[in-house]
């Protein structure tokens, strides 16, 4: 069976606590999909970056990777930076099936959950 | 009755399309909570900024504002920049009730919606 993995791709930040929600999403996925490999990778300021993460997974025998951009808006990072990085990853790993989902801010269910949170009483 | 408003506070970006998910959250809130005033404000690169947005709302008679940081991680922007901006807003509007929610990335329901999106088949 083809070995698959997900990569949660975030912007990155100087403060290590910035990463906490990404670790929590990873934890939720480990509980709900225990057979699923889920890694984190970052555009800048945190490691690993996406090419490093992809290289580690392919070395571990992963043949199919889906990258999920954990970004709200689709600006320059998603429309310009990410396609270049993905192209680099594909060139470095020509056998790999590598796909990219739309950013999580494109998901109506995610936006509905945010809208619900906005009107929760604290 | 006290006049209230919500402000969705985002980072901002150069690409105007970056703002689309924020507009969609605003639209969902207008449908589900039609009596609720909901505005957008940005840290940088987009307008209005938070002090401008707060000033416009208070001039329109709003007495109570809740700011919702639409950020995943709580790094320097939320832990350092935002408290300074809020302090400026409070000094400029001493009669205003101004509160700040934790960033949306602190909401378990939001993270669960993201986790669910990650494993959807496209």
Mean pLDDT of chain B: 95
Average pLDDT value for residue range B84-100: 97
pLDDT score at B53: 98
pLDDT score of A2: 87
Q: Residue A121 above 70 pLDDT?
A: no
Closest among B24, B69, B40 to A74, alpha carbons compared: B24
Q: Which of A24, A68, A76 sits opposite B13 (nearest CB)?
A: A76
Say which CATH number the domain at B25 has.
Answer: 3.40.50.1400
Look at residue A120 in the predicted model and tell me its pLDDT.
82
**Structural domain for A98, as ranges:** 4-119
Using CB atoms, pick whichever of B33, B109, B118 lies closest to residue A113. B109
Predicted pLDDT of residue B122: 53
**Which of A114, A119, A120, A121 to probe by mutation at the B interface, max B CB count within 10 Å?**
A114
> What are the tokens at B55?
């000033």
How high is the ipTM of this complex?
A: 0.95
DSSP string, B42-74: ESSSSSSBHHHHHHHHHHTT--EEEEEE--SS-
Residue A27: strand, helix, or coil: helix
- Give the model's pLDDT for residue B1: 81
- Residue from B7, B115, B119 to probe the interface with A (highest A Cβ count within 10 Å): B115
Would you state the structure tokens that stand for residue B85, as one six-digit string?
Answer: 């901006």
Strands B64-69 and B37-42, sheet pairing: unpaired
pLDDT band per the 50, 70, 90 thresholds, residue B120: confident
Q: How many domains does chain B have?
A: 1
Question: Looking at the predicted structure, is the pLDDT value of residue A79 above 80?
Answer: yes
Contacts of B112 in chain A (CB under 8 A): 28, 113
- pLDDT 10s digits, B69-83: 999 988 899 999 999
Give the mean model confidence (pLDDT) for residues A66-73: 95
How far from each other are the two terminal CA atoms of chain A, in whole angstroms? 47
């Amino acid at each position: 069976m083809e070995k698959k993995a997900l990569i949660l791709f975030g912007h990155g930040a100087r403060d290590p606590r910035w990463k906490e929600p990404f670790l929590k999403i990873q934890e939720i996925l480990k509980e709900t999909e225990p057979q699923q490999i889920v890694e984190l990778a970052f555009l800048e300021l945190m490691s690993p970056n996406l090419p490093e993460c992809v290289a580690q997974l392919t070395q571990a025998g992963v043949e199919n990777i889906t990258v999920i951009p954990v970004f709200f808006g689709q600006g320059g990072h998603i429309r310009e930076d990410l396609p270049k990085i993905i192209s680099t990853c594909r060139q470095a790993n020509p056998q790999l099936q590598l796909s990219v989902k739309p950013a999580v801010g494109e998901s109506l269910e995610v936006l509905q959950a945010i809208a619900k949170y906005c009107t929760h009483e604290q």
